[in-house]
Structure 1
Amino acid sequence: MKKFMKLMMFFSMVAMVSFTLYACQSTNNNAEEIVVAEVTRSIFYAPQYVALEQGFFEEEGLLVELITTPGGDKTMTTLLSDGADVALVGSETSIYVHAQGAADPVINFAQLTQTDGTFLVSRNPVDSFTWEDLKGSTFLGQRKGGMPQMAGEYVLKQNGIDPQNDLTLIQNVDYANISTAFASGTGDYVQLFEPTASIFELEGKGHIVASFGEESGHIPYTTFMAKESFIGEGETAKKFTRAIYKAQVWVETHSPREIAEVISPYFEDTDLELIETVVERYKKQDSYATNPILDMEEWENLQNIMDEAGELPERVDHSTLVNTEIAKQVMSE
């Protein structure tokens, strides 16, 4: 958390944007323009791209500009400095901001993913993998304080592995360099997002042996959030949530191939077959939330994981940082 807040202060005057895309073109001159900052570009966020490509935002009178702000710290800084109206990022960031006493709280109002999105990849083939195989190994994990790392360590502990004593845990590699470090020979196991995990498997650089998403249970891994003032102004948040819900229903009722074809413009350097493989894997383990409600059980599971990792500044009531009324209204229409 300390690293997170230092970076928040460092970037407080700058919105770090690596990728900008007007994702929806509208002929409606009265369309309301909003900026959405996503923490990374990922197939894990397929319903968001479906909402953009299928015109669900446009149907609600919204013109969405999508920007990519790599890292939870940069994404939240962009939101807090009014560089974006809505942020797509891990719910833990709203807890970190709350702990600093924000005058205009950041509220989670629509959930997009409901499991961890990473996979355990081994360097060598493993027959009949068990978590005991990690003992004595070198494990290349994710950045300390981030949700992937916290969920990863939580899963290890749930399976009887002490991350600090049963293996050599490496956490000082920057997120963008983790896959490169593993490919260069660092670690016996690595925690990776898709499509990198599948690419490594196809290229023979690694082998997917387990899913952290399946092991950690339902958590609000990635949600849309905004300042309380934005949510309270007019119908924009409701229109946004309605478009996301339409996309969630669409993803639930369409095949991985159909989804891959729709979202492929956002992944021009990735083969369609690989996008389909990744979508299928995420659908199979229920990573895509089927509705935008972030419920109490998921919120408590998130805080339990943060607490176990020693990163929870204080427990926060579900009602304090989560708005479910908008999602419930949209779903009841």
Structure 2
Amino acid sequence: MYRVRMLAAAAVLVVLAGVLAACGGKTEQLSKVRVGEVTRSIFYAPQYVALSQGMFKQEGLEVELTTIPGGDKVATALLSGGIDVALVGAETSIYVAQQGSSDPIVSFAQLTQTDGTFLVARKPVTNFDWNSLRGVTFLGQRKGGMPQMAGEFTLRKHGIDPQKDLNLIQNIEFANIASAFASGTGDYVQLFEPQASVFEKEGKGYVIASFGKESGKLPYTDFMAKRSFMNKYPDTIQKYTNAIQRAQLWVQQKEVNEIADAVKSFFPDTDIGIIRSVVQRYKEQGSYATDGIIDEEEWNNLKNVLRQAGELKGDADYKMLVDNSFAEKARTAVK
């Protein structure tokens, strides 16, 4: 059935391309945009605001959102034409470029600008000192992913070698990390929300530090597309970026409870109190980007994180892998 849907979608795009080509050579546009997100997370609240508040529709776009767990799987879907736009870690475009792609994946708007994970201990800790982690069993995130790299970057900043000074566990699937900690694995764990807030509510763990605050600003999660797609459908990319800019401003201006109400339908199994707690935590530490522009300083910080993790092979050309033109226009046009 999935394959049939993909073939049908491809057929629609072919027909649409033919119709638009017949219209006197006008810039091609898509009214339907297939988006793949790497996970469903309150960390991506502005995206869900754009959907729930009709901001994409205001731009004349219909967004089909699919969750595709794993950055490698999202990249595969994007490269193969299964989706048009990806919401995934910025490192994904670098990994694809390192493999020598002739049609690079390009970031055109950032959604989050810090890491979104937190250090969680089994018991409350007052006056936490990073040096107290030496010798503990640390349940980290997947090797090569931004959460793990940002975590290791932070540890090194505090003089801790993750490979030598910790008993580091990083071979557990992302979806199983929280349950592994709850069942007794590890003294400390690196967790995304809402698991961190859920553990605090249930007394299973306590947030004692933020990797987002410690690792600094990064183009952490970006919207990206193939360069060929962006060249073919620049108006569609612009409209998409406009909608995201509108949502980013909305999130900055609104109170926590209103934001939580706007995104709650995307998290039907999550208590509204937890959603509010997560939104407040991410707002307070500035995780939600205020616009889509990815500046070069943030990009260089990202490269430093990858370089320290041993994942950067050569250079990652900012000018080749980032296109701020759409975000710059959106910031000017959307008030």
Does the TM-score normalized on the shorter chain lie above 0.5?
A: yes
Q: What corresponds to 1:289 in structure 2?
A: 289
Which whole-Å CA distance do the structure 2 matches of 1:106 and 1:317 have between them?
12
Which whole-Å CA distance do the structure 1 matches of 2:173 and 2:330 have between them?
39
Query: In the TM superposition, what are the counterparts of 1:242-253 in structure 2 within 5 Å?
Result: 242-253=242-253
Deviations along 1:6-46, whole A, 9 cap, x unmatched?
A: xxxxxxxx89x9xxxxxxxxxxxx97111000000000000
Q: What corresponds to 1:96 in structure 2?
A: 95
Instruction: Indicate conservation of the 8 Å contact 1:303/1:312, yes or no.
Output: yes
Query: In the TM superposition, what are the counterparts of 1:104-183 in structure 2 within 5 Å?
Result: 104-183=103-182
Deviations along 1:261-293, whole A, 9 cap, x unmatched?
A: 000000000111110110000000000000000
Structure 1 residue 329 displacement after superposition: 1.3
Instruction: Indicate conservation of the 8 Å contact 1:45/1:112, yes or no.
Output: yes
Structure 1 residue 330 displacement after superposition: 1.6
Letter in 1 for 2:271: D
Which whole-Å CA distance do the structure 2 matches of 1:160 and 1:221 have between them?
23
Which whole-Å CA distance do the structure 1 matches of 2:42 and 2:332 have between them?
28
Structure 1 residue 123 displacement after superposition: 1.1
Letter in 1 for 2:270: T
Instruction: Indicate conservation of the 8 Å contact 1:39/1:68, yes or no.
Output: yes
Letter in 1 for 2:105: V
Compute the TM-score of the two structures, normalised by the length of structure 1: 0.90
**Is 1:206–2:210 an aligned residue pair?**
no
Which whole-Å CA distance do the structure 1 matches of 2:141 and 2:147 have between them?
6
Letter in 2 for 1:128: N
**Is 1:49–2:48 an aligned residue pair?**
yes
Deviations along 1:219-277, whole A, 9 cap, x unmatched?
A: 01100000001111230000000000000000000011100000000000011111011
Q: What corresponds to 2:215 in structure 1?
A: 216
Q: What corresponds to 1:324 in structure 2?
A: 324
> Which of structures 1 and 2 has the bigger CA Rg?
2
**Is 1:197–2:190 an aligned residue pair?**
no
Q: What corresponds to 2:23 in structure 1?
A: none
Letter in 1 for 2:109: A
Q: What corresponds to 2:314 in structure 1?
A: 314
Which whole-Å CA distance do the structure 1 matches of 2:182 and 2:329 have between them?
47
Structure 1 residue 100 displacement after superposition: 1.1
Structure 1 residue 194 displacement after superposition: 0.1
Which whole-Å CA distance do the structure 2 matches of 1:127 and 1:167 have between them?
21
Which whole-Å CA distance do the structure 2 matches of 1:208 and 1:104 have between them?
42
**Structure 1 unpaired stretches of 5+:** 1-13, 18-29
Instruction: Indicate conservation of the 8 Å contact 1:31/1:61, yes or no.
Output: no
- Percent of residue pairs bearing the same amino acid type: 60
Q: What corresponds to 1:67 in structure 2?
A: 66
Which whole-Å CA distance do the structure 2 matches of 1:105 and 1:135 have between them?
41
Instruction: Indicate conservation of the 8 Å contact 1:195/1:278, yes or no.
Output: yes
Which whole-Å CA distance do the structure 2 matches of 1:329 and 1:314 have between them?
31
Letter in 2 for 1:44: F
Structure (1/2) with the larger helix percentage? 2
Which whole-Å CA distance do the structure 2 matches of 1:125 and 1:248 have between them?
34
The number of aligned residues is 308
Instruction: Indicate conservation of the 8 Å contact 2:30/2:236, yes or no.
Output: no
**Structure 2 unpaired stretches of 5+:** 7-28
Letter in 1 for 2:59: E
Q: What corresponds to 2:236 in structure 1?
A: 236
**Is 1:259–2:252 an aligned residue pair?**
no
Moved more, 61-70 or 124-133: 124-133
Q: SS in structure 2 opposite 1:34?
A: strand
